[in-house]
């Protein structure tokens, strides 16, 4: 077993190297991986030879990671069993921006695991970014507003986007309402049968083990500006303001301006670390400390995912009823 560090392409600021742990198949070195997660927030295990979803489930068991059910996803995934899911159904030619898995949920995954079964011909890296470094690099006035008010996610579930079953595991209204009540999600059923939800979350949190302050949210990624402009205008004309599949706001309900979205994405870009996938690779992330993205790609790409070790973060769910967004 050897440990190397691969420089990011392009180079990021500071020293954002991704630990690459070379193994020769066999048993997963769980203790060493946990050490690297504590020190670096991420580790790429190479040489393990993952070849099936069952192999990722086995790796999770070896690491002592307890899978979480798929809930509140913003894209569809295929359930492959044992807590393993396909990668998000997202167009190959469109990149997926940096985000922490389910940072909008009341209970969030502490660990994110990805296994590469088939590497694409080009592109398609699952890039990463350190949340503490991103927080330190963002303008103080931007951070202050988000830290003071948090961020608000508004969603509409109808015939566009994920279904109720995909998001909540059921179409039963009573069960969905009970879930929302338990997870601090304000919700209302509309006359046309659609479900509208709002959830207020902290944008900056402290890591439960280290106490480090982290930029932990999807305020930029899930903003309506990530939608294709043509699709966005069509949905607005069809359903009206406030009825898009998802959008984000400052925690006081005010819109997040385009400049702020741009600054956040620029900082993420400056702190992006990537290592091209090889078939059989395993990427393990501290989901609180490390954001991830998916780059556009060409050719067949099969990456499977497992999210686990649920965490309820102190202060992540502010008290009170989320405000209605200013439209």
Please tell me the CATH code under which domain 2-130+274-311 is placed. Answer: 3.60.130.10
Query: Where along the chain do its domains lie?
Result: 2-130+274-311, 133-264
What is the DSSP code string of 186-255? EEEE-TTS-EEEEEEE-SEEE-TTT--EEE---TTTTSGGGS-HHHHHHHHHHH-TT-SSEEEEETTSPB
* Fold match flag (2-130+274-311 vs 133-264): yes
Q: Which CATH number fits domain 133-264: 1.10.10.10, 3.40.718.10, 3.60.130.10, 3.40.50.20?
A: 3.60.130.10
Q: Pairing mode, if any, of strands 297-298 and 122-123?
A: antiparallel
The rounded distance, in Å, linking the Cα atoms of 130 and 214 is 9
Residue 17's pLDDT is what?
67
Residue 214's pLDDT is what?
98
- N-terminal to C-terminal alpha carbon distance within the chain: 56
Backbone φ and ψ of 82, nearest 5°: 60, 30
Number of residues assigned to the chain: 327
Q: Using the 8-state DSSP alphabet, how is residue 293 labeled?
A: E
Residues of the chain with pLDDT under 70: 1-17, 327
Q: For residues 107, 252, 244 and 270, what is the CA-based torsion angle, rounded to 10 degrees?
A: -70
Using the CB atoms, write b or e for 24-60: b if 16+ within 10 Å: eeeebbeebbbebbeebbbbbbbbbebeebebbbbbb
What Rg, from alpha-carbon coordinates, does the chain have?
Answer: 19
Q: Tens digits of per-residue pLDDT, 188-233? A: 999 988 999 999 999 999 999 999 999 999 999 999 887 778 777 8
CB 284 within 8 A of CB 42: yes
């Amino acid at each position: 077993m050897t440990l190397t560090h691969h420089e990011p392409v392009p180079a990021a600021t500071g020293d954002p190297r991704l630990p690459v742990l070379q193994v020769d198949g066999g048993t997963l070195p769980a203790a060493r991986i946990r050490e690297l997660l504590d020190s670096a927030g991420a580790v790429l295990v190479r040489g393990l030879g993952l070849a099936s979803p069952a192999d990722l489930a086995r790796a999770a068991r070896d690491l002592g990671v307890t899978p979480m059910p798929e809930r509140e996803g913003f894209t569809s995934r295929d359930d492959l069993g044992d807590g393993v899911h396909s990668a998000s159904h997202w167009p190959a030619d469109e990149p997926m921006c940096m985000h922490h898995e389910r940072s909008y949920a009341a209970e969030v995954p502490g660990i994110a695991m990805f296994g590469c079964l088939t590497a694409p011909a080009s592109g398609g890296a699952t890039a990463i970014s350190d949340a503490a470094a991103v927080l330190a690099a963002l303008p103080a006035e931007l951070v202050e507003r988000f830290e003071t008010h948090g961020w608000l996610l508004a969603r509409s579930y109808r015939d566009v986007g994920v279904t109720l079953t995909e998001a909540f595991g059921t179409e039963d209204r009573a069960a969905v309402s009970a879930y929302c009540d338990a997870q601090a999600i304000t919700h209302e059923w509309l006359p046309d049968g659609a479900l509208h939800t709002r959830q207020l979350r902290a944008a900056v949190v402290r890591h439960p083990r280290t106490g480090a302050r982290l930029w932990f949210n999807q305020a930029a990624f899930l903003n309506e500006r990530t939608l294709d402009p043509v699709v966005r205008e069509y949905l607005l004309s069809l359903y009206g303001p406030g009825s898009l599949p998802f959008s984000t706001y400052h925690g006081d309900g005010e819109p997040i301006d385009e400049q702020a979205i741009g600054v956040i994405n620029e900082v993420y870009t400056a702190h992006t670390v990537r290592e091209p996938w090889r078939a059989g690779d395993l990427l393990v992330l501290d989901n609180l400390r490390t954001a991830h993205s998916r780059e556009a790609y060409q050719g067949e790409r099969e990456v499977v995912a497992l999210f686990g070790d649920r965490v309820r973060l102190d202060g992540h769910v502010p008290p009170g009823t989320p405000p209605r967004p200013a439209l």
